Amino acid sequence: MNYNFFDYKHFIEGYHGQDFWGTAHTVFMVIACLAIIIIPILLRKAKEKNIDLFLKILSIVIPVLEVFKITWETVWDLKVVGSFNWGGLLPLYTCSMFIFVLPFAAWAKGKVKRAAVAWLSTIGIFAGLTNFFLPPILNTYPFWTLATFTSLNFHFWMVFTGVFLGVTGYYKAKWSDIITAWLPLAIFSVIVIPANYILQAKGHYPDYMLYMHGNGAPVLPQMSQFFIDKGLQLIYTLIVFFGYMLIGAIFVAIYRGCYALGRKNFQLFSHKRLTEKEKNDNIIKNQETDE
């Protein structure tokens, strides 16, 4: 199988997803996960103004790279296939929200910023991780190609950003964030759900945000087919829609659990130090009494 880094999918002969969990993908996963864990820990004391700057830079760079990727492949699709890839390139997936949420996290204020940051630190991490372990791009393009590089780069920064905001304390989870983190997704879904059904009616069969068939996810394809067979596909869509809230709730619970554990450890440490101080004070008092 011979191909170049910038090759278009239909020019790569003999590739049928062989790199999916191959050596390159596995090595990438290991390095990326270590970076996502270690770097935020090392930068956990980063100043808020520096985190703001990071978000502002990312809010410009990520959309530019994504527009480049969509434009690059669309040009080839129009040349070779003669049509736009509605199911694969229109940025209406859960991960696509990263493009639209970042500017609000970087430049907005108040409740809008809070909702954007909450999404990045909860549902955003989940969405990015699923595309690390199960990257659909590897079903079409080999690992060492431009398309795969841009996709994995996009999802790396997606996960890294959410973890970074949580570890540094820039995002401090509240139980109310179960709703707050879900709201950007709910607003985005106002566009995505109708787009799914309209395009399906036109014969394009998209699966934006897994709202139609749950392709690539466990259990969801079977659930989708069950409701489709009964003529109730919209019920399946609503289950997935509210299911994202459950994902956010799990992340908020993890954050809150870490906070509680951290406070408990701090209290134990403080009590231990206080006890040792008291012992030292008692020793001094005893020495003074003897004198």
* Tens digits of residue pLDDT in 223-273: 999 999 999 999 999 999 999 999 999 999 999 998 888 876 655 444 454
Please report which confidence band the pLDDT of residue 132 belongs to, taking 50, 70 and 90 as the band edges: confident
* Residue from 225, 194, 193 nearest 209 by CA: 193
* Tens digits of residue pLDDT in 65-86: 999 999 999 999 999 999 998 8
d(CA 184, CA 194): 17
For residue 132, give the 3-state DSSP assignment.
helix
* Tens digits of residue pLDDT in 134-176: 899 999 999 999 999 999 999 999 999 999 999 999 999 999 9
- Tell me the domain boundaries of the chain: 9-171+179-241
Which helix H or strand E contains 149, and what residues bound it?
A: helix 146-167
Contacts of 191 (CB under 8 A, 6+ apart): 92
